[in-house]
Structure 1
Amino acid sequence: MNSGTHGLKLTYLSACLASLFVNQVVAADEQSASKNVNQENPIETVSIVGSRQAYQGNFSPLETPQSELRINSEALENAGAIDLNQALDLSASVARQNNFGGLWNSFALRGFVGDENLPSNYLVNGFNAGRGFGGSRDLSGIETVEVLKGPRAALFGRGEPGGTVNLVTKRPTFDTAGEIKISAGSYDTYRADIDYTTPVSDEVAVRFVGFFEDAGSFRDTIESTKQGFSPSIAWDISDESTLVYELEYAHQEVPFDRGVLAIDGELGRIPQSRFLGEPGDGPMEGDVLGHQVEFQHDFDQNWSALVGVNYRDTSLEGFATETGFDGIVDEEVDRFRRYRDYDATYQVFRAELTGNIEVAGLAHRLIVGVDSDKFENDQFALRDRTTEQYIKVFNPVYGELATDFSTQIDRLETQESLGVFVQDQISLTDKLDIRIGARFDDYQQTLNNRLSDSQSKQEETRVSPQFGIVYEASDTLSVYASYGENFRPLSGTDSSGDGFEPNQSTSAEAGIKFTLNDGALFGTIAIFKVEQDNLLVVDDPTNFTFAAIGEAESQGIEIDINGEIADGLTLWASYAYVDAKTKNAFFDANFGYTIEAGTDLLNVPEQQLSLQLVQLLELDGKEFEVGGGLVYVDKRNGYFGTDFTLPSYTIVRAFVAYEITESISLRAEVDNLFDKDYYTNSFADVWVQPGTPRSFRVSASYNF
């Protein structure tokens, strides 16, 4: 890669960001001067602390009968996380899954993942937003990543039984502040970020968040570019009412990369850098355009209403040449080529009322609401089935592009649902609370298979109950237990062209929550069990049809501890033991194997640990941070129906950060400090994602 070209790109981008900053500061100064001329007293600015989170209610962590892990911006920065996959490595309850050649986020929470043919769903400020296409989620506009574990269907509805992930975005404040950050790293990786917020009047504030990244890779021939922009505006209509609008735009160009393969069941026979696709395919292009509006009104100190609307349009398009499953013959592996054109829209509306009321001498904290969503999944794909394509795995020669395409997929799936929910947490005593909740869902799925010129439609109604109990033994300790039922719609069709009944699950957990060190350190210890029915398995890989015949269960223990353990010394520790297995035997036509009962679920380690320590020091009167951490991932099932296993791994990272002035700071980081070979996930022994070798990154930040 031409470093001179990258230098010019970075210089140009820096100039653009600096110009934007100067214009904004000048405008803010002119506005401030104008106000001071017209008013005798200076304006007192007040920061927006943050809008109330949807579905969350007014509960302290010790009062909540479920396990939750909140990864704030400081923890994300200390971990060097710039995308959602890296952020979720901080939670040992989350395991990486097949990421569709690096083009979407896929993860299992407490052992369970969603539809393997769609990205894992996540929430943004309580809105369902993860489904669809558009690339891996960048964290440039994200303040906090919440891992909300356990049964949540009574409020969130149609989600995963192990829990859900919620992203809390950066929103405007009424204090002018900003940051420009430029970084450079291994493999010709360059990135620039900007974050600027300011008031434009006494009632209105804006925020501009954006990034640009131009990156090479340790993978041969792989280069990518990503950019995004997330402006938002907050309007304090009155002392009781606030309106917030947020826009999300992102564009990514990333080559489709299935990773490496094992030879005779053995990984490491070819370099981790070896790319077995076709550089001539070019990148897949992913686009996201989203809008989110929230209106919050406080009727009084007890009652509040929240109304929100979200619309998200995503797309993914491009060619990809992928390794096949016929095995290696004469040091060659077969390949096939596909063209994909995927589009999805997601529309969500929600309204909820929260408040406190006393009935028969008992205090009730209520959440009552309604939501609706519509998900349209439009998929078109071509595949070459006639051209014989092979590539030598030890000495690849690129340049052969198949062109004899036929249509493989051409369908439009629409999922619509309407939900009504209620949750009541009742204080039986000053220390004992019970939680009762239920959700009613009316769900409809329509499938229009344009390839076979057939249509199908199904409707379902479901009630998802939730129960919980929490006892605050002291101001620093509580014990809890909870139970919930859940359902999740399933995409795709069976061999008859019909849809499926939703995936069903039950989930239970119990745990202890505690604070130490005068509240500076918080911890949760939980045990859990999850059971699922109607899991999708492949019925006909040629026609892309499925059968909902799988059953599985997951059980285990989790320990999460984070906070300050001594003066200036912070700890982040997350450990999970997860035993996730199939409950019944079934035939998986994807690879022609019978999956026996008791088989480990794919890519789910039995043990996982994330650990991080950061010490804040002082050097020459300035703040100096030094920190490090590790991620341990146990061995995992790497290929259903076989004994192929991904090996366990431990990777270590370290960083130092120094505040040169009040405005300028420097940071240096190294990932995979001991340069270990490791593999993060797989779909089969020919699609295995290798981890990044030792890499470095330096960055400079200017705060104003």
Structure 2
Amino acid sequence: MNKAVKQTVLFSTVSFSLLGAGLSTAQTNTDSADKNKKVENIVVTGQRQAYQGDFAPLEIPQAELKIDTKTLVDAGAVDLTDALDLSASIARQNNFGGLWNSFAIRGFVGDENLPSNYLVNGFNAGRGFGGPRDLSGVEAVEVLKGPRAALFGRGEPGGTINLITKRATMARGGELRLSAGSFDTYRGDIDWNTTLSDAIAIRLVGFYEDAKSYRDTIETNKQGFSPSFVWHLNNNSQLNYELEYSHQEIPFDRGVVAIDGKLGKLPESRFLGEPGDGPIETDVLGHQLEYQYTFNDSWSALLGMNLRDTSLEGYATENGFGEVSKDGEFNRFRRYRDYDASYQVLRGEISGEFDTAGLRHRLIIGIDADEFENDQLLLRIRGDQYINVYNPVYGAYPLPEPNQTQTNQVETQKSNGIYLQDQISLSDKLDIRIGARYDDYSQTLKNRGNYFENEQSTTTKQTESRLSPQLGLVYALNPSFTLYSSYGENFRPLSGGDADGNGHEPNQSTSIEAGLKFDLNEGRVVGTATVFKVEQDNILTVDENWNSLAIGQAESEGFELDLNGQLTSDLSLWASYAYVDAKTTNDFYDPNFGYEITAGSPLLNIPEHQLSLQLVQQWFVAGKALDLGGGLVYVGERNGYFGQDFELPSYTTVRLFSAYDLTQAIELRLEVNNLFDETYYPNSFSDTWVQPGAPRNFRISSSFKF
């Protein structure tokens, strides 16, 4: 295959689009008095994304989708859930009362008791309890479909989400954005980048948001800060550091209930918890440090470290699982949670290319080690905690103190891995990719006792070794079209233990996919059409005493089409469609709700059909750019209660926006979401935990570039 343009990620180039015109990415300004001084210019080297190597999109034998900054802004995406709505391959899942991101890729979700994992600049970083991820410090979102364990190690069977952050570059400038919207929502974002010398730059990114909600009594407060610096040590090496801090206060909200199996009998605003519980508080403090060394045009090395601590703490009165009486009485229970998690990752990687026997090899080889500690205390109290769903009276009784220990454990997962991938060009048209990763994994589970087990305390440990292979094939029909196919295996360690306190065999999956990639209009329009099938074993369920069991099996198969780019110089298109058939493949008993699950049952919250569209047309008014755009998200019917005949209805939401450049530095933007005020339900866990979507709402914002 002909050598394509290198896909090295240049953060300085990306920064230009954020910080405005007139910013130089390869030089610094000097005072007139210094013009005659001899200054040694340092060449800005590009930063490679870990695990990804040096490949153009058409050369990769797996489906991928990159959501860039402009697309995120045009879609009005503020948090990760908003961004992932742009990919039809991703379905929303139970979001734990609004406290974390949970999503399924190609029909499969991870552990329902933990947030969905994602990567940050190639590092595992989504695990933990830091609240929903805000996009303030995010440059782009990559949807890497299919299993990636051959490089990344542990992961989700349907694919991986990678966040590319806003890092310091050799540029000067910034942007301040202020916005106000429906439900008394007010937000401010700042992004400022400057150089300290010819070799050092810093970038300060942060946000603050205060908002009420379409949900009664709900108020949230969020803030975050993501500073970073880059130090170009010389022409061959650079050092990057970034910090992640956030603090969020979010009331726990299980949503609405279906009455007699029917949704819509309660308004979307009806909150069934207790405002007196106060918010759940989540915190994140993370550090990421990377050193890159470029040996020559063909070879480079990357060393990295990631440390991340998260916590979640607070009270919540939650919807119960009983029925609503004829007069509207509904019982609830109250919980107290104190969760802490820490994650540490070390990684070293070398990538490059060489020729042997007339064949071109592009090689990635590396080692990594990580440790995840998950400390959970969950207390509960049940009893007569009734509320009338038609006429709720909050604070009708003193809130009881939870006194039953439901979970009290600390789990430590450790993994050491070595991986290798080689993509070999057998001819100008044909590439083959082979690779594998070996992981040595251990889990230590200390159960400090709960009332189901008569306060017994146990400590168990298990070790596992896993080999995760991959195989891919890419054939270039011509410079604009390639055919590809791939096979991969994936594993994901399972949290928790069985009735004896022992850990579980990891979740194991296999995947095969094939498709067509295309690059049209001189690279301005790109797309992928894919068919796939994923099978997995050892899916967690629980027994009658709420001890976990790994007995489930499932499969997912379907078709995807992604298309985006500039149709003309003034018209851009974003389109993503997916057909996904995800179902169980064995019979088992699920004591979550006490039902027999038969083979062929649809998986929770997975629509067969999903579509995301966005069109943006640009005009010039009075010599200034005016963008008018619109988009829609269609989600088909989904199973809303595993093992039961309860479906969430399909829905379509429509969004319009306009953006006008008042000056080169000032932009005004107006957005209308859910234009037709459709009542919809994005996800559920049962018929008493159903999340309603937001009604029609507005947002106006102004940005100032400096």
Q: Which category describes the TM-score, using the shorter chain as reference length?
A: over 0.9
Aligned to 1:237, the other structure's residue is in SS state strand
1:357-414 Cα distance to aligned partner (Å, 9 max, x none): 11222110000000110000000111113x3111101001111312252222110000
User: What is the rounded CA distance, in whole Å, between the counterparts of 1:36 and 1:196 in structure 2?
Assistant: 25
Paired residue type of 2:486: S
Residues 48 and 172, structure 1, Cα contact 8 Å, conserved in 2: no
User: What is the rounded CA distance, in whole Å, between the counterparts of 1:480 and 1:620 in structure 2?
Assistant: 48
Listed as ranges, the gaps of 5+ residues in structure 1 are: 1-20, 22-30
Quote the offset at 1:32 in angstroms: 5.9
User: What is the rounded CA distance, in whole Å, between the counterparts of 2:299 and 2:171 in structure 1?
Assistant: 28
Residues 468 and 483, structure 1, Cα contact 8 Å, conserved in 2: yes
**What pairs up with 1:288-299 in 2 under 5 angstroms?**
288-299=284-295
Q: 1:32 to 1:618 in 2, by over 3 A?
A: closer
**Counterpart position of 1:643:** 645
1:98-135 Cα distance to aligned partner (Å, 9 max, x none): 00000000000000000000000000000000010010
Aligned identity (percent) is 65
Listed as ranges, the gaps of 5+ residues in structure 2 are: 1-18, 20-27, 450-455
Of the three residues 161, 168, 182, the one matched with 2:164 is 168
Residues 439 and 467, structure 2, Cα contact 8 Å, conserved in 1: yes
User: What is the rounded CA distance, in whole Å, between the counterparts of 1:150 and 1:331 in structure 2?
Assistant: 46
**What pairs up with 1:439-454 in 2 under 5 angstroms?**
439-451=437-449, 452-454=456-458
**Counterpart position of 1:336:** 333
User: What is the rounded CA distance, in whole Å, between the counterparts of 1:45 and 1:683 in structure 2?
Assistant: 58
Quote the offset at 1:663 in angstroms: 0.4
**Counterpart position of 2:597:** 595
Moved more, 185-194 or 50-59: 50-59
**What pairs up with 1:50-449 in 2 under 5 angstroms?**
50-329=46-325, 330-385=327-382, 387-399=383-395, 400=397, 401-449=399-447
User: What is the rounded CA distance, in whole Å, between the counterparts of 2:147 and 2:364 in structure 1?
Assistant: 16
Residues 44 and 235, structure 2, Cα contact 8 Å, conserved in 1: no
Aligned to 2:386, the other structure's residue is in SS state strand
User: What is the rounded CA distance, in whole Å, between the counterparts of 2:179 and 2:503 in structure 1?
Assistant: 48
Residues 485 and 513, structure 2, Cα contact 8 Å, conserved in 1: yes
User: What is the rounded CA distance, in whole Å, between the counterparts of 2:501 and 2:329 in structure 1?
Assistant: 37
Residues 46 and 175, structure 1, Cα contact 8 Å, conserved in 2: no
1:537-564 Cα distance to aligned partner (Å, 9 max, x none): 1213xx5411000000000000000001
**Counterpart position of 1:576:** 578
- How much is the aligned-residue C-alpha RMSD, in angstroms? 1.4
**Counterpart position of 2:468:** 464
Q: 1:70 to 1:46 in 2, by over 3 A?
A: farther
Q: 1:192 to 1:117 in 2, by over 3 A?
A: same
Residues 147 and 160, structure 2, Cα contact 8 Å, conserved in 1: no
TM-score normalised over the length of structure 1 = 0.94
Quote the offset at 1:636 in angstroms: 0.2
TM-score normalised over the length of structure 2 = 0.94
**Counterpart position of 2:622:** 620
Residues 224 and 245, structure 2, Cα contact 8 Å, conserved in 1: yes
Find out whether 1:517 has 2:521 as its counterpart: yes
Paired residue type of 1:649: Y
Paired residue type of 2:703: S
User: What is the rounded CA distance, in whole Å, between the counterparts of 1:44 and 1:215 in structure 2?
Assistant: 50
- Deviating beyond 2 angstroms after TM superposition, the runs of 4 or more aligned structure 1 residues are 35-39, 41-50
Residues 175 and 703, structure 2, Cα contact 8 Å, conserved in 1: yes
Q: 1:418 to 1:464 in 2, by over 3 A?
A: same
User: What is the rounded CA distance, in whole Å, between the counterparts of 1:286 and 1:403 in structure 2?
Assistant: 21
**Counterpart position of 1:552:** 554
Aligned to 1:62, the other structure's residue is in SS state helix
User: What is the rounded CA distance, in whole Å, between the counterparts of 1:544 and 1:156 in structure 2?
Assistant: 31
Residues 45 and 238, structure 2, Cα contact 8 Å, conserved in 1: no
Matched residues, number: 671
Find out whether 1:479 has 2:483 as its counterpart: yes
Of the three residues 648, 654, 657, the one matched with 2:656 is 654
Residues 259 and 688, structure 1, Cα contact 8 Å, conserved in 2: yes
User: What is the rounded CA distance, in whole Å, between the counterparts of 1:46 and 1:402 in structure 2?
Assistant: 64
Q: 1:190 to 1:311 in 2, by over 3 A?
A: same
Quote the offset at 1:469 in angstroms: 0.3
**Counterpart position of 1:688:** 690
Aligned to 1:439, the other structure's residue is in SS state strand
User: What is the rounded CA distance, in whole Å, between the counterparts of 2:114 and 2:671 in structure 1?
Assistant: 33
User: What is the rounded CA distance, in whole Å, between the counterparts of 1:36 and 1:322 in structure 2?
Assistant: 66
Paired residue type of 1:350: R
1:408-458 Cα distance to aligned partner (Å, 9 max, x none): 211000000001000000000011000000000000000000113101110
Aligned to 2:81, the other structure's residue is in SS state helix
Quote the offset at 1:151 in angstroms: 2.4
Quote the offset at 1:493 in angstroms: 1.1
Quote the offset at 1:221 in angstroms: 0.1
Quote the offset at 1:518 in angstroms: 2.3
Paired residue type of 1:624: L
Q: 1:447 to 1:569 in 2, by over 3 A?
A: same
Residues 228 and 251, structure 1, Cα contact 8 Å, conserved in 2: yes
Find out whether 1:504 has 2:501 as its counterpart: no
User: What is the rounded CA distance, in whole Å, between the counterparts of 1:165 and 1:407 in structure 2?
Assistant: 34
1:464-497 Cα distance to aligned partner (Å, 9 max, x none): 0000000011110000000001100000111111
Moved more, 399-408 or 164-173: 399-408
**Counterpart position of 1:610:** 612
Aligned to 1:154, the other structure's residue is in SS state helix
User: What is the rounded CA distance, in whole Å, between the counterparts of 1:187 and 1:323 in structure 2?
Assistant: 24
